[in-house]
Structure 1
Amino acid sequence: MSKKILIVEDEVDLAQILAEYLQRDGFATTTLADGLAAMAVLRRTPPDLLLLDLMLPGMDGISILRELRKTSDLPVIMVTARVDEIDRLLGLELGADDYVCKPYSPREVVARVKTVLRRTQSSAGVTVSPKIGGAALEIDADALQARVAGKSLELTPKEFRLLRALAGKPGRVFSRAQLLDALYDDHLDVSERAIDSHLKNLRKKLVQAFPGEDPIRSIYGVGFAFES
């Protein structure tokens, strides 16, 4: 069955071009130009991947992504002409799986769609259960969830991947560049500060789950390690 791609883009000609390129590669596409209409479709019949423009009438892309991430890990690629660092980091921090800036090649977007779908579909693996202060942190790669005593930590997709990379090899020191590799296939346009933002949010959730414990150790000038 063809993977379903929802394209939310208010530039109708551009959306049509993207749809045609994706259809040539066997994807089923739907295009929408309004944010509120997109939100309604996402709630009713979610696609396999969302191509989401930042600037939209009705409801902007950031608001859509923020609302979507409350209940869903649906793969999302942000598409925008705005390249300032704040918007870039905000989109990634909220849980976007990739970020494409205009102008771009439609072939590049198709390649990124395939990469994100492959990455999210192949993320299944063995559950890892490291100990923190005597309690088990369960990292279930099949369900894309981290749990303590059966309770989900409610991590964003980026926070989950970051935790899985670190906790999967306790004691190993990861540089920021290595952690970026764990989160993105191509991070040329992603600042290493994005890692700091994700780590900060992840640490808060771990400290709440394990009072008095901070399993992520910072090694000055080198990187980070998970201490179980």
Structure 2
Amino acid sequence: MKDHVLIIDDDKELCALLAQYLELQGFEVSSIHDGAEAVTHLQQQEYDTLVLDVMLPGMMGLDVLRKIRDFTDTPVLMLTARGEDTDRIVGLEMGADDYLPKPCNPRELAARLRAILRRSQLTDINESQTEVSVGSTTLNSANRTAIHRGVSLNLTSAEFNLLMILLKRAGKIVDKDTLSQEGLGRPLSAYDRSVDVHVSKIRRKLANAGGKELIVSVRGLGYQFAVDGGY
């Protein structure tokens, strides 16, 4: 069964171009060119992943993302204007799984979508340890649940993968290259703050569940899940 992608972008020519390439790569592709229409549509129709442009008429892409995150956790890849770091960071903080600057290379888009879909799989057939617990934090890769002190953390797929990596290496420093490669499915590129933004969100969710200071920043090296830290 083909993975169904919805492209939300007002550039109809670009949508047609991307759809043509993605369909050749084995995806099923649909397009919507209006933000408000996309929100209404997504309340009735499910997709495997979304490609969402930041710049949309009527309702901006970030507003679309904010609204759909109230009712769906479908993975979202944001298309941002080249050089607009603020849009990328805000998008990740609001629940986007990844981003690409426009104009984007269709081949890279396909690769990013495959990475997103891989990490959003409910079960990894090569995963021998489905549940990992450190202190009061428990992650289950079979049903993609994350619990701290009995409270659900409601992690995105990217956040879940990054926290799972840190938990499995609890007490050890994990460099950002490893986190990006294993958690986001791509090498860490220069000036890419995706890992930092996702980790920041995980920290806030842990803190809201009573788990403060569990993820420690090690300057110039990476992050560490504190075995005996937190509350």
TM-score of the superposed pair, with normalisation by structure 1: 0.85
User: In the aligned structure 1, how far is the partner of 2:171 from the partner of 2:199?
Assistant: 16
- Alignment match, 1:129: 133
Structure 1 position 12, deviation (Å): 0.7
Aligned residue in 2 for 1:64: 64
User: How much does 1:140 deviate?
Assistant: 1.6
Q: How much does 1:122 deviate?
A: 6.7
Offset at residue 82 of structure 1 (A): 4.3
1:157 aligns with 2:161: no
Deviates more, 1:167-176 or 1:35-44: 167-176
Superposed, 1:1-228 pairs within 5 Å as: 1-121=1-121, 124=124, 125=127, 126-131=130-135, 136-148=136-148, 150-189=150-189, 191=191, 193-210=193-210, 213-228=212-227
Whole-angstrom distance in 2 between the partners of 1:190 and 1:142 = 33
Kept in 2: contact 1:95–1:157 (CA 8 A): no
Contact 2:10 2:33 (C-alpha < 8 Å) held by counterparts: yes
Percent identity reads: 38
The 1:84/1:108 distance shift into structure 2, 3 A limit, reads same
Report the Cα distance in structure 2 between the residues aligned to 1:84 and 1:197, rounded to whole angstroms: 15
CA distance in structure 2 between the partners assigned to 1:45 and 1:93 by the alignment? 25
Residue pair 1:52, 1:77 contacting (<8 A) in 2 also: yes
Q: Secondary structure at the match of 2:77?
A: strand
Query: In the alignment, is the contact (CA less than 8 A) between 1:5 and 1:47 conserved in 2?
Result: yes
Taking the aligned partners of 1:67 and 1:218, their CA distance within structure 2 comes to 32
Assess if the C-alpha contact under 8 Å between 2:65 and 2:96 holds in 1. yes
Deviations 1:189-212 (A, max 9, x none): 56354434333332233233236x
Unaligned runs of 5+ in 2: none
The alignment yields a C-alpha RMSD, in angstroms, of 2.4
Letter paired with 2:214: P
Aligned length in residues:
223
Q: d(CA) in 2 for partners of 1:10 and 1:189?
A: 28
